[in-house]
A and B are shown apart, each in its own frame.
Chain A
Amino acid sequence: LNHLKNKYRARFCHGGRNKIDLQPGQNILKVIQDCFESGS
C-alpha cells in the first residue's frame, strides 16, 4: 500500500480541495451523497 501512502501526503497537504461547507442542521447524508456525485 506504500504507493497510497506517498501520494496521500501530497493529496492531504494540497490546500485546493473543494471545501465541503457543512451548514449546521444540514442533512449530512445528503452532503455525502453529493460529494460522491460531484464528478471531479
Chain B
Amino acid sequence: QIRKCTEKFLVFMKEHFDKLFAKMEEVVLQLV
C-alpha cells in the first residue's frame, strides 16, 4: 500500500519537476 502511495507521489513530483525544469532551462537560455 505504501509503495503504491509512493509511486503515485513520485509520478506527480516527476511531472512537476520536468515542467519546472523545462521552464528553468528556458529562462536560463534567455536571461543568462
Contact = CB atoms under 8 A, between A and B. Distances in A.
Direct contact of A and B (CB under 8 A): yes
Interface of A: 8, 11-12, 17, 19-20, 22, 28, 31-32, 35-36, 40
A12 to B, nearest CB: 7
A12 B31 contact: no
Interface of B: 20, 22-27, 29-31
B3 to A, nearest CB: 25
A3 to B, nearest CB: 11
B20 to A, nearest CB: 7
A20 B28 CA distance: 11
Contacts of A20: 27, 30-31
